[in-house]
Amino acid sequence: MVAGLVRLAVRRSLRDTRYVRVVPRRRATGLVAEVYRQVERDFSMLAPPVALHSAAPEAMAAAWAVLRETLLAQGVAGRAAKEAVATGVSAANSCPYCVDVHGMTLAAIPAGPDGADRDALEDWARASATGAADAPPFPPAQAPELIGVAVAFQYYNRMVNVFLRESPFPAHVPESAKPQARRVLGGVLRPPAGPGPRAGDSLKLLPEAPVSEDLGWASSNAVVADAFARAYAATEAAGARSVPPAVRTLLHDRLSTWDGQPPGLSRSWLEEAVAGLAEADRPAGRLALAVALASYQVDEGLVDAFRATAPGDGTLVELAAWASMAAARRVSTWLAGSLDPA
């Protein structure tokens, strides 16, 4: 009974999604309906961080594929290790929603025979956000899954910071009720005993794509490499549709020298960064740069200015998804560099 009420509360939190309308479950068709079906089957509920993408079906399928095939699907790394990485990355990116959800899930998973050092994994994941991590505290065979989780949450933290509130519970849930709700939700999200969902089921959602050079860290796991290759291709296509070429060039140039450090509390850096863009491209430039480099700085003003030039929900989600994935891919390069070549 209580678990059912908590599930209902999280589902209702979809109404609190900012800036875009989420496609209701009963009205979903096509690719959105298939992603919803997989999410509910494998995650025990329709997770808002996935559903917020519903105005842009291909971006939604891409986001789901990288999450499912790293965090949820059966593999060589245990779920506790994956949740520790998700929690650490989310803490580094100041994403309270994701810290809440994945911290709850991690706490609900009992210590098991996998021997995962949760503290070491979480510390590594925090440090990895700025390229400061030492050699990863896991065996090479687990690298595609655990680096994959880290890259996936570099993406999700940005999208969640932009589109969701700070808590997975709707605004009407009182603070006094949240401790018990967190314990219950952790139990709901706790994976069942035994292997996770079958790997590879999300691949059919997106067309095949070549594995890019920056996926070397995933090469020993064909499913993870394939999922990211398809997701990268889908988000690049989304960027080509919804982000002006000059903005894409600007963000790539900025990311090429970015070390993961935030640009600061002021947004003056945005005005300096977009000064070379045509006036018509500056709203998209400000928003894309903020999503990628300081998602906590995205507010209604930035979004409204962009929507004055491109009013559709799908365009907004595609721009944010492209910028978030571009930043995540940049982080993946230093995560790959931390691996012992031996």
Residues recognised as catalytic? 98
Query: Measuring CA to CA, which residue among 226, 214, 225, 221 is closest to residue 326?
Result: 214
Question: Which of 298, 47, 65 lies closest to 189, judged by CA?
Answer: 47
What's the distance, CA 90 to chain centroid? 9
For 189, which DSSP code?
A: H
- Angle of CA points 113, 186, 77, to nearest 5°: 35
Instruction: Kindly report the backbone phi and psi dihedral angles of residue 109, in degrees, each rounded to the nearest multiple of 5, phi listed first.
Output: -90, 120
Of the candidates 156, 54, 142, which has an alpha carbon nearest to the alpha carbon of residue 95? 156
The set of residues, in sequence order, having a beta carbon less than 8 Å from that of 256 and lying 6+ positions away, is 330
> Per the structure block, which two tokens stand in for 199?
């790997």
Q: Max alpha carbon distance in the chain (Å)?
A: 58
